[in-house]
């Protein structure tokens, strides 16, 4: 500890000094916390946040420390290090996450020892989360990685598997676990030693260090107590992915037997991976009947996986083709359309000539998602006329699904560059800009790029006003386009617009009611992501989410929803601020979907399984309440299922 203290003193000597006096406007803890949140939301001068970080109230300090970390600026790392040794546990934990986030910034010139120094300080930190942080540091040498590994696998305690898993996954070219580390992780999976089962197996897989005995133990992993069911299923699921990818060193007979058994696992998450493993590893030699058998699985995730797999498995089996023809009946206008649409795409890949007769019914269907799947089928069939029809669809998502393959199959359909296109592009840019939405950024960047490509040299009429746009990214893009068209260097001068009000930050709960009749609760994390939680509450109470859908369902990953356009691009008008920390993407956790730093648009995602690879990269603001029972409702949500309303319980 003395060595760590001396190191900290040296680091602090290099930290920027001098901080302005604290504002006297807010004096109560609640007022100070709200003031700190407002500073965080406005991306204020870091020095102002440091005032709050150095205050005496842990809740206020936590807000400021988290906000400083989310600047992703290594010049702030040294200022955050003292908080690793704060007396309050909440402050220490926030500092752990903030230090990791700050190190995502660009390396500082002349400071190669920063990461090794942080590594040593984390090893002496009192926070139990320091082990997680050690796995997420941006290491550059094998020596740094080995130092972290040996600390995390120290024989004096169970291996800190979450840190080891991240260490191996994030540093594949630098990591090479010691035999002792591998043995200790394997002992956890075999239940010969205490520790985290799932993370230990994940660490072995990430390090390519899974042996046959441990693999067998993992695929047969069962709960000894009812409360262990879900955790045990997660271990089997991860082991099944290893069977599919070849990371489990089992004999062909052992692998085949394990996959067959796992097709009947009580947990759908395991069966889903078993379907994928069978299609990849077994279908060619054993036939596709097991895949046909699970088409009627009680889980839609599993059934759709089987239908998708049959699009390319056992291609010479006419009975399989006949079955897909039967499954490709016209979907009903109301209700689930998923089995029929997936079967139709599979048929289009497998036997395009037999899909032709059904195409008119799919491309003219009243449900736009069915027409979107028709575009995917048309791509597989190389059906240019259908793609041309769907490229004129009234729903943007169908148009997008058709245009990409249409341009590949019919290059003549692509736009021909020319100045005649500039006026309509400029009109569209002006119209979208007038909406004053942060979340129009992607659309406006695409329009700026198109204008640059089509405009005559020197014609910057549509771009000049954007130099003072409210979005600095758009202003910078406009400046670059003007420079390209004129050869003159111009400087963007963005004028940020006022931020929306934060709203109450008192803890509440939410109930998400689906139009299907099911519902699930959410415990909102006002302690770990108050800005995101407050935005969610404000939007829910204004009925923003009513009628919106979960437009993206990725089995054994996430469901995503809350977009007015039912796509990745449309969301609430104002971007949200990142609040990443040490919250994990465990099964049932709820995060903010983003497309870059500080681009949350109120779309949310729910983790269907534990997704460690997302940790530290997304704001987690809620957890599905009563996770084991409530998650059964979430597990049944299908692509396009709509939210009836979200109720806030105070």
Q: Can you give the pLDDT at residue 35? A: 80
Least confident interval from 246-255, 371-380, 627-636 = 627-636
The residue from 211, 244, 277 where one domain ends is 244
pLDDT above 90 covers a percentage of the chain that reads 78
Q: Can you give the pLDDT at residue 418? A: 66
CATH classification of the domain holding 544: 2.40.100.10
Helical H segments across 487-559, by residue range: 530-541
Q: Based on the domain organization, do 438 and 397 belong to the same domain? A: no
Cα–Cα distance for residue pair 73/68, rounded to 1 Å: 8
Q: Can you give the pLDDT at residue 341? A: 98
Residue 81 has pLDDT above 90, yes or no: yes
Radius of gyration of the chain (CA): 27
* Tens digit of each residue's pLDDT (9 = 90 or more) over 9-31: 333 334 443 333 334 455 566 77
Q: Can you give the pLDDT at residue 36? A: 80
User: In 3-state terms, what secondary structure has residue 322?
Assistant: helix
Domain presence at residue 499: no
Q: Based on the domain organization, do 341 and 229 belong to the same domain? A: no
Mean pLDDT of 166-172: 97
CATH classification of the domain holding 102: 1.25.10
Residue 4 has pLDDT above 70, yes or no: no
Mean pLDDT of 438-452: 93
Q: Based on the domain organization, do 613 and 635 belong to the same domain? A: yes
Domain presence at residue 491: no
Residue 414 has pLDDT above 70, yes or no: no
Q: Based on the domain organization, do 449 and 393 belong to the same domain? A: no
Q: Can you give the pLDDT at residue 20? A: 33
Q: Based on the domain organization, do 409 and 423 belong to the same domain? A: no
Domain presence at residue 494: no
Mean pLDDT of 420-447: 92
Q: Count structural domains, the chain.
A: 4
Q: Can you give the pLDDT at residue 14? A: 42
Q: Can you give the pLDDT at residue 7? A: 38
* Tens digit of each residue's pLDDT (9 = 90 or more) over 257-278: 999 999 999 999 999 999 999 9
Q: Based on the domain organization, do 437 and 564 belong to the same domain? A: no
Q: Based on the domain organization, do 459 and 323 belong to the same domain? A: no
Q: Based on the domain organization, do 566 and 447 belong to the same domain? A: no
Nearest to 263 by CA among 303, 313, 311, 227: 303
Domain presence at residue 259: no
The residue from 434, 454, 486 where one domain ends is 486
Cα–Cα distance for residue pair 141/173, rounded to 1 Å: 10
Cα–Cα distance for residue pair 612/202, rounded to 1 Å: 9
Q: Can you give the pLDDT at residue 16? A: 41
Domain presence at residue 140: yes
Residue 415 has pLDDT above 70, yes or no: no
pTM here is 0.91
Q: Can you give the pLDDT at residue 628? A: 59
Query: Given the DSSP bridges, would you call strands 589-592 and 519-524 parallel, antiparallel or unpaired?
Result: unpaired
* Tens digit of each residue's pLDDT (9 = 90 or more) over 93-152: 999 999 999 999 999 888 888 999 999 999 988 788 999 999 999 999 999 999 999 999
Cβ contacts of 45 within 8 Å, gap of 6 or more: none
Question: Which range of residues forms the domain containing residue 645?
Answer: 509-649
Q: What is the 3-state secondary structure (H, E, C) of 243-287?
A: HHHCCCCCCHHHHHHHHHHHCCCCCHHHHHHHHHHHHHHCHHHHC
- Per the CB < 8 A criterion, the answer to whether 132 and 163 are in contact is yes
Mean pLDDT of 79-83: 95
Cβ contacts of 617 within 8 Å, gap of 6 or more: 580
CATH classification of the domain holding 311: 1.25.10.10
* Tens digit of each residue's pLDDT (9 = 90 or more) over 632-646: 999 999 999 999 999
* Tens digit of each residue's pLDDT (9 = 90 or more) over 345-388: 999 999 999 999 999 999 999 999 999 999 999 999 999 999 99
Domain presence at residue 470: yes
Domain presence at residue 444: yes
Q: Which H or E element spans position 522?
A: strand 519-524
Q: What is the 3-state secondary structure (H, E, C) of 403-436?
A: HHHHHHHCHHHCCCCCHHHHHHHHHHHHHHHHCC
* Tens digit of each residue's pLDDT (9 = 90 or more) over 296-336: 999 999 999 999 999 999 999 999 999 999 999 999 999 99
Q: Based on the domain organization, do 408 and 429 belong to the same domain? A: no
* Tens digit of each residue's pLDDT (9 = 90 or more) over 186-226: 999 999 888 899 999 999 999 999 999 999 999 999 988 88
Q: Based on the domain organization, do 145 and 215 belong to the same domain? A: yes
The residue from 388, 413, 438 where one domain ends is 413
Q: Based on the domain organization, do 223 and 271 belong to the same domain? A: no
Domain presence at residue 457: yes
Q: Can you give the pLDDT at residue 449? A: 94
* Tens digit of each residue's pLDDT (9 = 90 or more) over 537-576: 999 999 999 999 999 999 999 999 999 999 988 899 999 9
Q: Can you give the pLDDT at residue 8? A: 40
Average pLDDT of the chain to the nearest whole number: 91
* Tens digit of each residue's pLDDT (9 = 90 or more) over 42-61: 877 899 899 889 988 898 99
Q: Based on the domain organization, do 25 and 159 belong to the same domain? A: yes
- Name the residue with tokens 């130099």: 467
Nearest to 62 by CA among 36, 28, 30: 36
């Amino acid at each position: 500890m003395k060595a760590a203290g001396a190191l900290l003193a040296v680091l602090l000597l290099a930290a920027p000094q001098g901080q302005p006096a604290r504002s006297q406007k807010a004096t109560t803890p609640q007022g100070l916390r709200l003031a700190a949140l407002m500073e965080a939301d406005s991306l204020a001068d870091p020095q102002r946040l440091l005032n709050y970080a150095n205050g005496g109230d842990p809740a206020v300090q936590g807000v400021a420390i988290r906000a400083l970390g989310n600047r992703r600026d290594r010049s702030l790392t040294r200022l955050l290090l003292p908080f690793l040794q704060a007396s309050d546990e909440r402050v220490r934990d926030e500092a752990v996450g903030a230090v990791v986030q700050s190190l995502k910034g660009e390396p500082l010139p002349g400071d190669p020892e920063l990461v090794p120094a942080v590594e040593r300080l984390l090893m002496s930190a009192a926070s139990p989360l320091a082990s997680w942080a050690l796995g997420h540091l941006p290491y550059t040498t094998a020596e740094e990685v080995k130092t972290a590994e040996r600390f995390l696998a120290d024989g004096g305690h169970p291996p800190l598997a979450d840190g080891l898993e991240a260490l191996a996954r994030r540093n594949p070219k630098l990591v090479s676990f010691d035999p002792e580390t591998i043995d200790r992780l394997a002992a956890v999976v075999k239940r010969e030693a205490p520790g985290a089962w799932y993370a230990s197996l994940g660490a072995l897989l990430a390090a390519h260090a899974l042996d046959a005995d441990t693999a067998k133990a993992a695929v047969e992993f069962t709960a000894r107590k009812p409360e262990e069911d879900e955790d045990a299923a997660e271990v089997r699921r991860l082991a099944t992915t290893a069977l599919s990818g070849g990371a489990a060193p089992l004999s062909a007979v052992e692998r085949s037997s394990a996959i067959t058994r796992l097709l009947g696992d009580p947990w759908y998450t395991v069966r889903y991976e078993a379907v994928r493993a069978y299609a990849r590893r077994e279908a060619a030699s054993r036939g596709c009947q097991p895949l046909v058998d699970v088409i009627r699985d009680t889980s839609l995730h599993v059934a759709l996986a089987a239908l998708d797999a049959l699009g390319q498995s056992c291609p010479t089996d006419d009975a399989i083709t006949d079955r897909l023809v039967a499954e490709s009946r016209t979907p009903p206008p109301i209700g689930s359309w998923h089995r029929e649409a997936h079967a139709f795409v599979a048929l289009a890949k497998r036997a395009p000539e037999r899909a032709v007769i059904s195409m008119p019914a799919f491309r003219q269907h009243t449900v736009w998602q069915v027409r979107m799947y028709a575009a995917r089928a048309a791509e597989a069939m190389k059906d240019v006329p259908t793609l041309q029809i769907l490229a004129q669809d009234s729903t943007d998502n169908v148009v997008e699904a058709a245009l990409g393959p249409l341009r590949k199959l019919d290059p003549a359909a692509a736009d021909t560059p020319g100045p005649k296109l500039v006026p309509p592009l400029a009109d569209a840019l002006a119209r979208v800009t007038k909406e004053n939405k942060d979340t129009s950024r992607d659309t406006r960047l695409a329009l700026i790029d198109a204008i640059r490509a089509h405009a005559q040299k020197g014609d910057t009429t549509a771009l000049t006003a954007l130099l003072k746009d409210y979005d600095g990214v758009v202003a910078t893009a406009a400046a670059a386009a003007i420079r390209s068209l004129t050869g003159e260097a111009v400087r963007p001068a963005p004028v940020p617009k006022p931020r929306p009000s934060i709203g109450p930050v008192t803890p509440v709960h939410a109930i998400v009611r689906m139009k299907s009749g099911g519902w699930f609760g959410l415990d909102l994390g006002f302690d770990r992501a108050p800005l995101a939680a407050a935005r969610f509450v404000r939007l829910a109470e204004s009925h923003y989410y009513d009628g919106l859908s979960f437009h993206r369902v990725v089995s054994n990953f996430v469901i995503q929803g809350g977009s007015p356009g039912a796509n990745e691009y449309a969301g609430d008008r104002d971007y949200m601020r990142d609040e990443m920390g040490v919250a994990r993407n465990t099964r049932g956790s709820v995060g903010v979907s983003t497309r870059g730093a500080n681009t949350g648009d109120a779309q949310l995602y729910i983790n269907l399984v534990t997704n460690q690879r997302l940790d530290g990269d997304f704001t987690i603001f809620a957890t599905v309440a009563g996770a084991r029972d409530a998650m059964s409702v979430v597990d049944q949500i299908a692509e396009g299922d709509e939210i009836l309303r979200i109720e806030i319980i105070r």
